[in-house]
Amino acid sequence: MEEKAPGPIGVFDSGFGGLSILREVRKVLPHYDYLFLGDNARAPYGTRSYELVYRFTLQAVRYLFDQGCQLVILACNTASAKALRTIQQRDLPAIDPTRRVLGVIRPTVEAVGQYTLTRHIGVFGTPGTIQSGSYDIEIAHLYPDFSVYGHACPMWVPLVENQESDGPGADYFVKKDIHALMSLCPDIDTVILGCTHYPLLMSKIRQYMPQGVHIVEQGRIVAHSLDDYLRRHPDMARRCTRGGTCSYLTTDDAEKFSTMASVFVGEPVTARQVSI
Ligand code: DGL
């Protein structure tokens, strides 16, 4: 097959959350070029149906492919839970079998075994991710003797998307949801933040999480997993350009996105609005 022109690594999320993955990926793999796409206009995805999350995610993946990305990371648990498998198994063979789409749930689950002593794992996620049972299924597959307790936090993503992460509303909901999860089982010693928006609430989460509970953030885990993937797939690594650049696209207002993203990634961001 003819060799494709290399392109940036695509990173997709429904909104700002994927920046928590991108930031860590760029620390571990700074030499590659990245193209971030946030579907802010249609966020949150977490309360939407399978059909819609799949349709929106496929549109985003196609869009990033059209921009030249050979590899796309779904930096979104909801999209990874509800759309990844269908895209990998049904759509990619038809669109272009040489391109790749990777998710964030599998690498997170692979890493979780190293943190727990009690083998009781809590998972915070969007309603969509928790209802999909994806974490339960993946954890049962890799660690059959672990117990998993999921709790959906429908208000956490809207708090982040509406820049209320530091406000009193965030205190109320973070405290309430941590209490609800920990009430399910007192032996939970490891809690997965199974939504890429949640690290943006980290200071509140740390404040209300009981002492001694390990909080699993996905950014570094996904970054190291991607590093490992590219080492094992030098053919794909060759198809990712290395200029150290990062461009940002959003489906909502570019200025609003740029302001928020600049604070979050710690450097000036100039996003462009696109319709996908
Ligand atoms: N950040 C996404 C996730 O990891 C989804 C947030 C949303 O749009 O509900 O699940």
The reported pLDDT for the residue numbered 2 is 56
139 SS3 class: helix
> Does ligand 1 have an atom closer than 6 angstroms to the CB of 188?
no
The reported pLDDT for the residue numbered 158 is 92
Exactly one of 76, 153, 240, 246 is catalytic; name it.
76
2 SS3 class: coil
Predicted TM-score (pTM) of this structure: 0.94
Exactly one of 69, 153, 195, 246 is catalytic; name it.
195
User: Which of 184, 54, 172 is CA-nearest to residue 124?
Assistant: 184
195 among known catalytic residues: yes
Tens digit of each residue's pLDDT, the chain (276 residues): 556 799 999 999 999 999 999 999 999 999 999 999 999 999 999 999 999 999 999 999 999 999 999 999 999 999 999 999 999 999 999 999 999 999 999 999 999 999 999 999 999 999 999 999 999 999 999 999 999 999 999 999 999 888 899 999 999 999 999 999 999 999 999 999 999 999 999 999 999 999 999 999 999 999 999 999 999 999 999 999 999 999 999 999 999 999 989 988 889 999 999 999
76 among known catalytic residues: yes
Q: How far apart are CA 239 and CA 67, in angstroms?
A: 13
Tell me the CA end-to-end span of the chain in Å, nearest whole number: 28
* ∠ CA 164-167-171, rounded to 5°: 110
Read off the tokens for 140: 């049962």
How many Å lie between the centroid of ligand 1 and the Cα of residue 213?
23
